[in-house]
């Protein structure tokens, strides 16, 4: 009985202390606790509870909002702006757009234009509303008051989604986005969210400016830094974007695992499942089509191979090519003799037996056989839309970058051999090198939520 009484006394004392405390401080602590609950959810819940996270967050939000009704702080002179800001921020904790949050945050910045955090929250609100222009204005409006990581990284994000009048403008936006994200990271190198957005900025640069493997590596390095932050690594979009980068690095097993991790953290988000299933199907298609040599009939396949003629190797037919006034020797070798990585001073020559359909068409993928009927997949990046090859084309690939991946996943055994071509203009098709008009950058296909 005495223990119960003591507990009531402690509870009453705590309530009394809170009443004496500045209401703004009480509400600030409540909102901070709400965000801590969201961002640290998996420290106290298993991954199996992910399906309940949004419902649990709604309950916490309801409890937090009740405290605002208890604290009639808006009646106190000088506190209305912070009251509106805190309540708007509380409503902003969920992913969906809430009109009341926009209304409250708009009031806050009108009453106190230098309230930096309110500008950032209002920008987040407009972002959820898909009002990119207003979101950008909010983040830009906050920067004169202080160069802060939240405004900077959000500007990076907004610039990647902002409609551009030309490709040149799009490229300029991407470059600015990378710089904003770098500045955000420099202000706080331990913030995983800033690292995530820098990784996304590099990934967008890879697709928009040039598909350079070095840019992908920068993206992966940023994601690795983000994963060190306990908050960032609980976000599904980190793993979704990481999976996209891994996919284009052709690290297929790791990409599938990352898509699965993104789905586990947020089962309600369809993009990770869709991209996971697309990649899995694509890998199965590649393996099956290579094993079956494009399902060509033996007689047709034999006729195609008999038609192989070294004159269709074009500038490579004499066993060399010129690069920066230097003559580079090229030895024609069978596909089966390729080594892992770059095969310097080697060339392979064969016929296209099929091309492989993919939802986003990046990379363009086809299968080719050489005179030994050895079949390999070829992935071509930076290829302009509609500029692929067709069945029966003769293909020469100098100094091929070869990979051989064997792994198990979801009851499937994969054994995929492929040649990666970063610059399509090195290819010779039917005796002619592809020209620069056939080279282009791909577009990054991703949900705005994944940013």
Cβ distance 429 to 394 under 8 Å? yes
Cβ distance 61 to 34 under 8 Å? yes
Using one digit for the tens of pLDDT, what is the confidence trace for 270-288?
A: 999 999 999 999 999 999 9
N residues, the chain: 451
In Å, how far are 57, 98, 369 from 384, measured between CA atoms?
45, 41, 24
Exposure string for 192-225, b = 16+ CB within 10 A, e = fewer: bbbbbbbbbbbbbbbbbbbbeeebbebbbebbeb
| pLDDT mean over 134-162 | 95
Q: Which among 219, 236, 251, 193 is positioned nearest to 449, based on CA atoms?
A: 236
pLDDT surpasses 70 at 20: no
pLDDT surpasses 60 at 449: no
Per-residue confidence at 207, pLDDT binned at 50, 70, 90? Answer: confident
CA–CA separation, 140 and 145 (whole Å): 10
For residue 111, what pLDDT is reported?
94
Using one digit for the tens of pLDDT, what is the confidence trace for 238-266?
A: 999 999 999 999 999 999 999 999 999 99
Looking at domain 14-283, what is its CATH homologous superfamily?
Tetratricopeptide repeat domain (1.25.40.10)
For residue 9, what pLDDT is reported?
44
φ, ψ (nearest 5 deg) of residue 229 = -95, 125
Q: Give the per-residue SS3 of 28-85.
A: HHHHHHHHHHHHCHHHHCCHHHHHHHHHHHHHHHHHHHHHHHHCCHHHCCCCHHHHHH
Give the residue, 147 or 79, on which the prediction is more confident. 147
Which residues in 205-284 belong to E strands, given as ranges? Answer: none
pLDDT surpasses 50 at 445: no
CA–CA separation, 437 and 265 (whole Å): 43
Q: How many CB atoms lie within 10 A of CB 407?
A: 14
87-91, 379-383, 434-438: which is most confident: 87-91
Residue-range domain boundaries for the chain: 14-283, 292-441
pLDDT surpasses 70 at 10: no
Cβ distance 163 to 132 under 8 Å? yes
CATH pick for 292-441 out of 1.10.150.80, 3.40.50.1100, 2.40.50.550, 3.50.50.60: 2.40.50.550
Looking at the DSSP bridge assignments, the partners of residue 365 are 356, 379
**Which residues does 192 contact at the CB level (< 8 Å), separation at least 6?**
225, 226, 227, 228, 229, 230, 231, 232, 233, 238
| pLDDT mean over 131-148 | 95
- H helices, E strands: number in the chain: 16, 12
- Give the whole-number percent of the chain exceeding pLDDT 90: 77
Using one digit for the tens of pLDDT, what is the confidence trace for 290-319?
A: 999 999 999 999 999 999 999 999 999 999
């Amino acid at each position: 009985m005495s223990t119960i009484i003591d507990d009531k006394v402690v509870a009453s004392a705590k309530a009394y202390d809170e009443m004496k405390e500045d209401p703004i401080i009480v509400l600030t602590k409540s909102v901070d606790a709400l965000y801590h609950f969201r961002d640290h959810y998996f420290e106290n819940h298993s991954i199996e509870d992910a399906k309940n996270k949004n419902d649990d967050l709604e309950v916490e939000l309801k409890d937090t909002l009740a405290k605002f009704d208890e604290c009639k702080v808006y009646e106190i002179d000088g506190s209305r702006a912070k009251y509106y800001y805190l309540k708007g921020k509380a409503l902003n904790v969920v992913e969906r757009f809430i009109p009341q949050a926009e209304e409250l945050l708009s009031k806050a910045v009108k009453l106190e234009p230098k309230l930096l955090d309110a500008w950032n929250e209002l920008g987040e609100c407009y972002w959820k509303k898909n009002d990119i222009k207003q979101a950008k204005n909010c983040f830009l409006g906050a920067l004169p008051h202080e160069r802060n990581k939240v405004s900077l990284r959000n500007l990076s994000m907004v610039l990647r989604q902002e409609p551009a009048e030309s490709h040149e403008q799009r490229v300029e936006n991407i470059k600015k986005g990378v710089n904003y994200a770098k500045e955000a990271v420099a202000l706080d190198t331990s913030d995983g969210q800033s690292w995530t957005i820098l990784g996304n900025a590099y990934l967008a640069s890879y697709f928009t400016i040039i598909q350079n493997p070095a840019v992908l590596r920068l993206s992966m390095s940023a994601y690795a830094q983000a994963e060190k932050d306990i908050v960032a690594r609980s976000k599904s979009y980190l793993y979704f974007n990481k999976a996209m980068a891994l996919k284009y690095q052709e690290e297929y097993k790791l990409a599938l695992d990352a898509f699965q991790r993104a789905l586990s953290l947020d089962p309600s988000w369809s993009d990770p499942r869709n991209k996971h299933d697309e990649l899995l199907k694509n890998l199965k298609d590649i393996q099956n089509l290579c094993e079956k040599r494009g399902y060509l009939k033996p007689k047709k396949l034999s006729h195609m191979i008999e038609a192989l003629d070294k004159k269709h190797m074009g500038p490579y037919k004499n066993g060399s090519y010129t690069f920066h006034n230097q003559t580079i020797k090229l030895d024609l070798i069978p596909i089966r003799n390729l080594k892992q990585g770059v095969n310097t001073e080697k060339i392979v020559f064969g016929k296209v037996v099929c091309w492989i359909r993919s939802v986003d068409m990046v990379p363009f993928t086809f299968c080719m056989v050489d005179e030994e009927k050895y079949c390999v997949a070829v992935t071509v990046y930076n290829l302009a839309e509609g500029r692929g090859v067709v069945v029966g084309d003769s293909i020469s690939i100098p100094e091929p970058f070869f990979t051989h991946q064997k792994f198990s996943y979801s009851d499937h055994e994969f054994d995929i051999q492929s040649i990666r071509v970063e610059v399509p203009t090195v290819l010779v098709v039917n005796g002619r090198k592809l020209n620069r008009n056939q080279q282009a950058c791909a577009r990054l296909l991703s949900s705005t939520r994944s940013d």
